[in-house]
Structure 1
């Protein structure tokens, strides 16, 4: 039962209920401008109780539930990079909502106001990721019967478009010049040339390339076995691939196979001379027996772009986009490309590379019309 009283100029409710152990408990809330508003709020609490809600969780705060959700479903199940992103989001939520804002008190309009503020000066993709993470958290809160609707649904995302994807891959002529330069200057001392060449010819992610062992290179079949990644950020060693579908075999051209043979021979000679044996048998370990970081390779790539006059600059991940753009331009089947990239489904490939596929469709349309005219 609920009692409604006036105190210090505003109205409050006090709802009594029995917890799971049969003990009487109370839910209180004050600050209502009218008796009717307090009565309606109390009636909603009673409805929730009769629907099976645990009223002890009624005052759970946004930050409190975020921490609980992370601990239950996320911590230890993702990479350190992803977990670092969750911590950043927590700081952003805390800065806006404070430590005491209850999850239940946030309305759809409240959330939209936050998104409008958060999106100012940020990329729309960043806003979308935060909204997606919080949506998953609120879905969990719905299952726990703390809230009964998800205030993040149908949110109008704000933020700028970010850098256009069509600026993130190389033209075919620049790809060839970069690859040829890397082949010509490849050495253990300049290991980045080998790594960049491998990125161009495989389209693999940096962590996948750097995580290759010589046992993953099948020279007879012309294959690379992608079955793990390397933690280049924190130096913890091998990690699982990004997704289960990222475990795959990538066919490599004969030129890259020859280049990798050359690297293996150089490594063997250098290790013999220094009396060194790599316990991990990594493909890409330099003459100082180090594994290059992603930032070091990006720095080297930018230097090569400057030397060759390649514009605009791309990162190592841009080599992956360049690889795809070239295959699409050559008419390679999108299903094969999706598998080669290790995407979990073709929809991801279609979404990420839709701008490239539009040009391919135009070319395919001409071929189709020519064939139909000849019928």
Structure 2
């Protein structure tokens, strides 16, 4: 089967031979609108290749918006975590469909996507106060690329145009660890004015994520051996509520506690047991380490809000709760704790992530290593 290219007025079209139908009649596909003969020949060649491989798609009326709705329901809903699915829905309904949803799936081009990314960087926020970050737009690109990759696999389109588009390059997130003196001031404020002192203390001493701390159960805390087993994370899903899932890395880990942390948690457990007695039957016991006074879950957003107030009151570097994790890692690396150990405590999937994230600590460590090497050579020369 062969196709052909023809001129029609000022434009070109191709005619693709599709064989014969059940009645023995010839089937053809005609596609118009090419500005040059070369463009028509190129797309004809792609169509012929797809036809020969058995992946040619005849129906080109499906819009990107219609396809993404299908993709959400039949792929994302089934194959991704609830929070991931929630994020996909938000990106698709609030951003991608309004801007690109009207395009036919088969007519979507790299130019359309590149223009979309540029527009979102310039003016993509809900409140109209500027553009989205490069990191956020790159998330859009990854979603679109994955959805189009599935469209190719399901024989809805011939190629994934997102593969030839360059998404924006996010700037590296600046790490803002607290100093030892700042940690002391923050803990003092947390101890005096809030119920969150135990969770702030634990975050600093372990580097655990917010959700991991909020989902930590007493059954996973071995005070006798000084070990915490990180097995789940607590998340708040809109429309669903509180859920528990595996840690971010997809697997649990073990974190050895400091002596100070063991002592604090022992006292915290005593106080929690007193609360249970005080509340009696209305105490909601989920077995969690960190709870409200009546045993209920601590909402992630409430902890974040309270932490912001603590930071302001303590007059320390403006940090997020997640920066307590960065603080823990930075202090360990500054004490020459091996990056592999730090990586294991943080639950990073590879040591490379740890080294890349905390590269700001390495220059000082390299300077110290060079000084130690000089000292070693001097000692060796004295003995020679």
Range class of TM-score, shorter chain: 0.7 to 0.9
TM-score by length of 2: 0.82
Q: Is the 8 A contact 1:301 1:316 kept in 2?
A: yes
Matching residue within 330, 340, 348 for 2:345: 340
TM-score by length of 1: 0.84
Q: Which position in structure 1 is the counterpart of 2:179?
A: 171
- State the distance in 2 between where 1:374 and 1:254 align: 37
Q: Is the 8 A contact 2:138 2:169 kept in 1?
A: no
TM superposition shift of 1:201 = 1.0
Distance 1:193 1:40, change over 3 A: closer
Q: How does 1:309-348 map to 2 (within 5 A)?
A: 309-311=315-317, 313-348=318-353
Matching residue within 90, 99, 103 for 2:102: 99
Q: How does 1:208-357 map to 2 (within 5 A)?
A: 208-234=212-238, 235-245=241-251, 247-276=252-281, 277-311=283-317, 313-357=318-362
Q: Which position in structure 2 is the counterpart of 1:185?
A: 192
Q: Which position in structure 1 is the counterpart of 2:57?
A: 55
Q: Which position in structure 1 is the counterpart of 2:126?
A: none
Q: Which position in structure 2 is the counterpart of 1:15?
A: 16
TM superposition shift of 1:69 = 4.2
- State the distance in 2 between where 1:239 and 1:151 align: 34
Q: Is the 8 A contact 1:135 1:153 kept in 2?
A: yes
Q: Counterpart of 1:55 in 2: which secondary structure?
A: coil
Q: Which moved more, 1:282-291 or 1:62-71?
A: 62-71
Q: Is the 8 A contact 1:122 1:160 kept in 2?
A: no
TM superposition shift of 1:298 = 1.9
Output the aligned Cα RMSD: 3.2
Matching residue within 165, 179, 200 for 1:196: 200
Q: How does 1:157-168 map to 2 (within 5 A)?
A: 157-158=167-168, 161=171, 164-166=173-175, 168=176
Distance 1:301 1:47, change over 3 A: closer
TM superposition shift of 1:242 = 1.8
Gaps of 5+ in 2: 123-130
- State the distance in 2 between where 1:76 and 1:2 align: 40
**How far does the alpha carbon of each residue in 1:199-220 deviate from its partner, in whole angstroms, 9 at most, with x for none?**
1111101111011111111010
- State the distance in 2 between where 1:22 and 1:64 align: 32
Gaps of 5+ in 1: none
TM superposition shift of 1:158 = 3.0
TM superposition shift of 1:350 = 1.9
